[in-house]
Amino acid sequence: MDKPVLTKEERKAKREARRQKQRENNVLRASKMHKLRLTADATAPTKKQAAKTTTYHIGCSGWFYWHWRNAFYPEGLATKDWFAHYAKAFKTVEINASFYSWPTEATVKTWLKQAGRKKFVYTVKACELITHTKKFKGTKELVKDFGYIATILGDRMGCFLYQAPPSYHYSPARLKTIVSQLQNGQRNVIEFRHASWWNEKVYKALKEADLIFCSCSAPRLPDELVKTADDIYIRFHGKKAWYRHDYTQDELSEWAERIKNAKAKTIWIYFNNDFGGNAISNAKALVCLLKIKP
């Protein structure tokens, strides 16, 4: 029997119901991870390790995209083998699913298992419960609880990415709130989606707190590299269109020069322009421009 065809409004309502269920589950999952953190032997957060030489981590924002089938993943390759194929090309990935759904302990252990013995590092996007629902207000414990992921991942842990909402404009009070919530000794990155945050007061506060400002290549945001810590972090969303832009060689060359001139100890770069597999080809092209050995 054929499934009934839903109207646009019905699809939207179904999607919103699913998202609301996710938000409710996030509270429950956060509570479970809180208990895990408190009962674990290693209760202290995993501290970030300073790099002795310049280290590059370049990959994509996510790796499981159906539209990468036959574009990046060979025809006939089972989905269970997609990560292994991705890990042959890149040694890091930015987990975005964790924004919508707070990861369980079992999920994080699955990340460990699928990496196997490969030299592979995960960057994890913080759950929207912290950044969008509570907007960093009274989230110190939640930040610590989400940070327990680093305890599980150990040396496979990269950064925690905290993305603020586009409607979240700069104010001194909001800046103070963010800094007070995220100072926990881990490698924390803040991505702003409103141009008002590109200002010297923000840079100064983040430098003093050793927090990483996320530089963005995205429509209507300043196209520049900002360094507030020993590490730099860049997300490529698309210069002219979100998620769809295919970066030219000249555009990537310009960023390569910025990256070299920043003289950072550790560089984290993730391409989020997944449409048409652009993220894959652009990430590989930047690796070549930076002359990074595989």
CA separation for the pair 108, 48 (Å, rounded): 19
> 155-167 burial, b if ≥16 CB within 10 A, otherwise e?
ebbbbbbbbbeee
Q: What is the mean pLDDT of each run of 10 residues along the chain (294 residues)?
A: 65 72 89 92 53 87 95 95 97 97 97 94 98 97 96 96 97 97 93 98 98 97 97 95 94 97 96 95 97 74
Each domain of the chain, given as residue ranges in start order, spans 10-289
pLDDT at 8: 65
pLDDT at 181: 96
Secondary structure E strands in the chain: 55-61, 92-95, 121-125, 157-163, 188-191, 212-217, 231-236, 266-271
pLDDT at 186: 93
pLDDT at 10: 63
3-class secondary structure, 214: strand
Burial class (CB in 10 A: 0-12, 13-18, 19+), 207: middle
- 192 close to 168: Cβ distance less than 8 angstroms: yes
- 94 close to 59: Cβ distance less than 8 angstroms: yes
pLDDT at 3: 62
pLDDT at 257: 97
Does the domain at 10-289 match CATH 3.30.360.30? Answer given as no
pTM across the whole model: 0.92
pLDDT at 294: 57
pLDDT at 40: 82
CB under 8 Å to 103, separation ≥6 — which residues?
29, 95, 97, 124, 149
- 259 close to 290: Cβ distance less than 8 angstroms: yes
pLDDT at 55: 95
Q: What are the tokens at 294?
A: 């595989």
CA separation for the pair 43, 13 (Å, rounded): 41
